[in-house]
Amino acid sequence: MQASDHPEPSDPMKSGAFERNTEWLRGDGDACDVVMSSRVRLARNLAGFPFTSQASEIDQHQVLEACKSRILSMPIEDESQVMWVDLHDSKRDDRLLLVERQLMSRQHAKGKRSDGSGGTDSPRGLAVLLPDERMSVMVNEEDHLRMQVVRSGFALESCLHEINTLDDAIEEGIDYAYDARFGYLTACPTNVGTGLRLSVMMHLPGLALSGELEKVRNAACDMGLAVRGFYGEGSESAGDFYQVSNQTTLGKSDEMLLREMETEIIPRVIGYERHARSKMLKEQDTVLRDRVHRAVGTLRHARLMKVDEAMELLSLARLGVLTGVVEGIDLGVIHTLMLQVQPAHLQKTLGLELTQQQRRSARAEIIRGRLGNG
């Protein structure tokens, strides 16, 4: 992914690379009123090495160096470059910032010694394609390689095409663990086969406000889908943002999984959400306007703000803009604030180490400055 004429940033976390919105918050693409972003992830492991959870520190170092060497030697587009981060040597706030930008998992940020005793020194890395951050590769997460491609809006097919190209390029220099009967071997049995996970980040405030969200969640589970929170597995919803993804890959081809998600399941959920918003505008207009304008008023005037509260209020503000209930607020500002209110981004923006109380005050001040405090 990195060509010799595109040098790796010497200090990527201070290079200004993360001052812009990430790809999943760009706010355009098909069905972007409901689908914030599409993501395709592949799990791969190197032949001849134990899975990460069973590997010794020496094994993990060897996997890390092999993957790093291969990734940084691959050709990339002229205007792009690869940022590589050795996570075991990076600062905690820098790792959290990468999690907040959806470039890696919380598990990968924390790390774990190979003996299971905890800590943050297990050898592991992250490669990110700059400047748009649409590709990232985690090394020594649950699997040796967890690669992902993200696109704004509903774009699973293009994500799948890009990640297959990336996967082929990596495999030219690395032997994957593969079984003729079962397919690609992975640490988690649900990923065995293609190792493919298709997911979309959906904004579902209409279903939440109308009390229909639980029905959709149950229906998704019946269809073999996982419905997770804002940061994926093990996380809670923040501001009615949910990740919807397939749960199993064994016995299904890439094309079959894509067809199910792109033509059957996700369009149905999009339709449910749009119908819920339209129904509220017709039948509960006053209630909707009250909720939205209360949220905007709080955002514009509050002096203290917790991150969960900020996300809930920004979610309502986004709904208000999309339904025409609120005017004069740019959707891009709301998307930018969704990152800026996160703890690591907040401290990176201000260049200060803040206490929890100071973060609450600074968060409210930044929001007032961007939205206008009336």
Question: How many residues are given for the chain?
Answer: 374
* Total domain count, the chain: 2
Query: In the structure, what pLDDT confidence band is assigned to residue 249 with cuts at 50, 70 and 90?
Result: low
- Residue 5: inside a domain: no
The pLDDT score that the predictor gives to residue 372 is 83
Q: Are residues 39 and 181 in the same domain?
A: yes
The distance in angstroms from the start CA to the end CA of the chain is 48
Query: In the structure, what pLDDT confidence band is assigned to residue 15 with cuts at 50, 70 and 90?
Result: very low
Q: What is the CATH number of the domain that holds 217?
A: 3.30.590.10
- Residue 59: inside a domain: yes
Query: In the structure, what pLDDT confidence band is assigned to residue 215 with cuts at 50, 70 and 90?
Result: confident
The pLDDT score that the predictor gives to residue 17 is 56
Q: Are residues 139 and 245 in the same domain?
A: yes
- Residue 2: inside a domain: no
- Residue 4: inside a domain: no
The pLDDT score that the predictor gives to residue 233 is 57
For the ranges 11-25, 63-77, 143-157, 350-364, the lowest mean pLDDT is seen at 11-25
On the question of pLDDT at 7 being above 50, the answer is: no
Q: What average pLDDT does this structure show over 307-332?
A: 96
CA-CA distance, 216 to 156, in Å (whole number)?
21
Residue 290 lies in domain: 284-371
Whole-angstrom CA distances from 204 to 291, 318, 335, 353 are 15, 11, 15, 34
Q: Are residues 330 and 204 in the same domain?
A: no
Q: Are residues 245 and 366 in the same domain?
A: no
SS3 sequence of the chain: CCCCCCCCCCCHHHCCCCCCCCHHHCCCCCCCCCEEEEEEEEEECECCCCCHHHCCHHHHHHHHHHHHHHHHHCCCCCCCEEEEEEHHHCCHHHHHHHHHCCCCCHHHHHCCCCCCCCCCCCCCEEEEEECCCCEEEEECCCCCEEEEEEEECCCHHHHHHHHHHHHHHHHCCCCECEECCCEECCCCHHHCECCEEEEEEEECHHHHHCCCHHHHHHHHHHCCEEEEECCECCCCCCCCEEEEEECCCCCCCHHHHHHHHHHHHHHHHHHHHHHHHHHHHHHCHHHHHHHHHHHHHHHHHCCCCCHHHHHHHHHHHHHHHHHCCCCCCCHHHHHHHHHHCCHHHHHHHHCCCCCHHHHHHHHHHHHHHHHCCC
On the question of pLDDT at 34 being above 50, the answer is: yes
Whole-angstrom CA distances from 239 to 25, 50, 143, 304, 327 are 14, 39, 30, 18, 20
The pLDDT score that the predictor gives to residue 226 is 82
**Look-up: residue for tokens 């297959």?**
164
On the question of pLDDT at 56 being above 60, the answer is: yes
Among residues 225, 242, 276, the one where a domain terminates is: 276
Q: Are residues 66 and 103 in the same domain?
A: yes
pLDDT in tens, 161-186: 999 999 999 999 999 999 998 889 99
The pLDDT score that the predictor gives to residue 357 is 93
- Residue 255: inside a domain: yes
Q: Are residues 301 and 187 in the same domain?
A: no
Q: What average pLDDT does this structure show over 141-145?
A: 96
The pLDDT score that the predictor gives to residue 121 is 75
Q: Are residues 270 and 150 in the same domain?
A: yes
Model pTM score:
0.88
The pLDDT score that the predictor gives to residue 118 is 47
**Higher pLDDT residue, 11 or 346?**
346
- Residue 311: inside a domain: yes
For the ranges 21-25, 57-61, 125-129, the lowest mean pLDDT is seen at 21-25
Q: What is the mean pLDDT of the chain?
A: 87
pLDDT in tens, 325-363: 999 999 999 999 999 999 999 998 888 888 999 999 999
Residues pairing with 232 in the sheet: 229
Q: Are residues 202 and 351 in the same domain?
A: no
The pLDDT score that the predictor gives to residue 111 is 77
pLDDT in tens, 113-141: 544 444 557 999 999 999 889 999 999 99
Among residues 231, 247, 276, the one where a domain terminates is: 276
